[in-house]
A and B are shown apart, each in its own frame.
Chain A
Amino acid sequence: MEKTLEEKTSERFLDIMERIKESNKSVTTGIDEKEIKHWVTIYIMGKAYKVPADLTLMQAMEFAGYRFIRGAGCRAGFCGACATIYRKKGEYKLRTALACQTRVEDGMYLVQIPFAPAEKPVYNLDKEGGGLDVVFKHFPEVARCVSCNTCTKACPQTLEVMDCIQAILRGDFKFAAENSFDCIQCGLCSIRCPAEIIHYHLFQMVRRIHGKFGVPPEPNLEKRIKEIEEGKFNEEFEKLLKLSPEELKEIYRKREIKLD
């Protein structure tokens, strides 16, 4: 009998988890070094380490003995917590990457920059409105952009970061909101920017402004909020809260995933 889509999805999920477990073996459990054929030398904060050749930067750092308290999150390229800067052997270019998404290369020099220091501005769009003046008030440095495009080159999500900044300068929040949508706020653009723009906070503000003032209200959202307020899902929530972790995991695995 042919497998259902649900079964296929579940199998694929388990398969991926198995592969991740396998590749992390050298880090998590420690293995006999004889089993590893290929090795490279990398320099973490200037100190040389011999690490297995197929690891990601994050795994390699863990193999070398680092333990992440910050600077590691989803380990799947979505959370932006493991921003890293590095140079390759014999190359002048300073490169940027997510440590969990990039593989080690022999002779690499690297350091993780898990946080781009910047004050998080506090604003109230209900009171302040969503005009260009409000954006300039909280992020005046955006006007210092010289269009060098270094931000775009730094982005591990390959967003057109500079184009978004430039769109903001001419009040085109729609472009900036839509084109910065996949920003994971790793902050690498802001670390590299010669104008010291804080792109990731700025983009978030512009997305909020666009969501609030730039697009018509979504009727389905209003409907759903009303349903929540009327308690439509209360029973379901209570049921979930009473389940054991094992039962929850089982439900999670068997959840319905609709693929287009």
Chain B
Amino acid sequence: MKIPYYPGCTLKTSAKNLEVSALESAKVLGVELVELPRWNCCGAVFSMATDDLIHQLAPIRNLIRVQEMNEKGIVENENRVVVLCSMCFNTLKRSNMFVKEDKERLEKINNFLSDTEEPYQGNIEVIHFLELLKNDIGFDRVAEKVKKPLKNLKIAPYYGCLLLRPEEIAIDNPQSPKVLENLLEALGATVVDTQFKTRCCGSYQTVNRKELVAELAYDILNQVKISGADCVVTSCPLCMFNLDTRQEEVKKAHPEFKTIPVFYFTQLMALAFDLGESFYRFDLNYVNPKPLLSEKIF
């Protein structure tokens, strides 16, 4: 199966570990994620103002690129685009909804783009990689490909907000999501439920209010430890940064704090498929997970 794939800037810079592990794991599952030949910023944050159409140009332009991939025969009749980054997923999906629900908005945007682009028809569907795993590939199939079950690993899933809020774009039940849990079970891990799994990570406050975000991370990670988990798994590069890299600030504020590894779900999938170091890129995780992994798995 060939399906268009939108990466976003973070997957090409600080979250390369999310991209390489996902693309290679997808291959094992018989899916080729074909990167858009040309793409721009997703829009970074969905603009809430209904008349602020200029901030919809970036996401809609990307959806036009998916249309083009079909026209050029790069993919065949595939009107879906897979996204890995939670922020990109949220922005693209909401922008798509925003223009689909009001033809006048779409027309205005298309008119502005008409100098250089074909109009967006409104037929593209934005999906997250987790949805592809759940609905198209199936967790049974994922389980079949596991070579090295993560059986001794106790993992706390952490969703953050972008895959679940607002409710209209949620990939799962926003109150009690299960998709990461189901995936982790397929990989043979022990899932640990925590009450903070959909709590806010602090988001972009991390740029100029590091200490505030460090406190949020401290609470979330302590909750994980209290629940008995060894590590956290997330899908979002921003959650990853706030829970993983910000542990440096957590340690400064709370000297007794012991660091705890945070993974992308795709890294654990690649690990369970035994794809090799170059597809895990644990060197890009702030907290080195290798001591934990050698204790529990190898």
Contacts and interface: CB of A to CB of B under 8 A. Distances in A.
A148 B7 CA distance: 20
Contacts of A153: 115-116
Given A145-B58, A149-B115, 15 more contacts: A145-B40, A146-B55, A146-B57, A146-B58, A147-B41, A147-B58, A147-B61, A148-B54, A149-B61, A162-B40, A163-B38, A163-B40, A169-B9, A171-B9, A194-B54
A172 B12 contact: yes
A107 to B, nearest CB: 22
A162 to B, nearest CB: 7
Nearest to A194: B54
B116 A152 contact: yes
A166 interface: yes
A131 to B, nearest CB: 10
Contacts of B115: 149, 153
A132 interface: yes
A146 B54 contact: yes
A172 B8 CA distance: 12
Interface string B56-82: 011001000000000000000000000
Given A146-B57, A147-B58, A171 B12 contact: yes
Interface in A97-146: 132, 145-146
Most buried by B among A145, A147, A172: A147
Contacts of B12: 170-172
**Which 7 residue pairs spanning A and B have beta carbons closest together?**
A147-B58, A170-B9, A170-B12, A166-B40, A147-B40, A171-B13, A169-B9
State the main secondary structure of chain A at its contact with B: loop
Contacts of B113: 149
B128 to A, nearest CB: 20
Interface residues of B, number: 19
Interface string B9-45: 1001100000000000000000000000011110100
Interface in B182-219: none
A178 to B, nearest CB: 15
A194 to B, nearest CB: 7
27 contacts: A132-B13, A145-B40, A145-B41, A145-B58, A146-B41, A146-B55, A147-B57, A147-B61, A148-B54, A148-B57, A148-B112, A149-B57, A149-B61, A149-B113, A149-B115, A152-B116, A153-B115, A162-B40, A163-B38, A163-B40, A169-B9, A169-B41, A170-B8, A170-B13, A171-B12, A171-B13, A172-B12
Interface string A148-170: 11001100000000110010011
Contacts of A145: 40-41, 58
A247 B57 CA distance: 59
Contacts of A163: 38, 40
Contacts of A171: 9, 12-13
B37 to A, nearest CB: 11
B181 to A, nearest CB: 32
A166 B57 contact: no
A132 B10 CA distance: 12
A149 B38 CA distance: 13
A166 B13 contact: no
Contacts of B38: 163
Nearest to A160: B38
